[in-house]
Amino acid sequence: MSGLTVKKVAGHVVINFHDVKTELVDAQDMHRHHPDTFDAPDFDTIVSMAIEGVFVKLGCGGERFWCRIVYVFDEGDPESLSFLGIVNNDLLMTGDHGLSMGDLVYFKACNILDIVCEFGGCDD
């Protein structure tokens, strides 16, 4: 998996590409293997709620973090739905997984641990 950092320098967008050292958690797989102890939103919920501006929880390298969706790649099949998001909180284990606040992350629907609309973005 890879991460991107986007910064504006002197009016130009600068994109830094870096390797993320561990894969994102597959929430759907974890829920299938541990249904009594690991909850994850189903694909119908993800399709209806995971839109641009919404915050989703992801996991990587033993750490969970919030990411704001900035782009949705919709191929027409809920299980192939993927996203581009911005890490939205400080991370404690950046040295272990390579991600930090402000990084752009590409992720799939199966990686979403939770969806929160209270921060904005969802049409209620």
**Residue range(s) defining the domain that contains residue 50:** 21-116
Report how many domains make up the chain: 1
pLDDT at 115: 92
The answer as to whether 83 is a domain residue is yes
Token pair of 45, please?
């919920």
- pTM (2 decimals)? 0.76
The answer to the question of residue 86 being in a domain is: yes
CB 22 within 8 A of CB 89: no
Query: How far is it, in rounded angstroms, from Cα 54 to Cα 114?
Result: 11
Instruction: Give the distance from CA 99 to its chain's centroid.
Output: 11
Residue 15 lies in a domain: no
Tens of each residue's pLDDT in the chain, 124 residues: 445 556 555 555 455 555 555 588 888 888 889 988 888 888 888 888 888 899 999 988 789 999 999 988 887 776 778 888 999 998 887 777 778 888 888 888 999 999 987 655 455 4
Neighbours of 47 (CB within 10 A): 17
Question: DSSP H helical segments within the chain, as ranges?
Answer: 27-33, 43-49, 94-97
Per-residue pLDDT, 124: 47
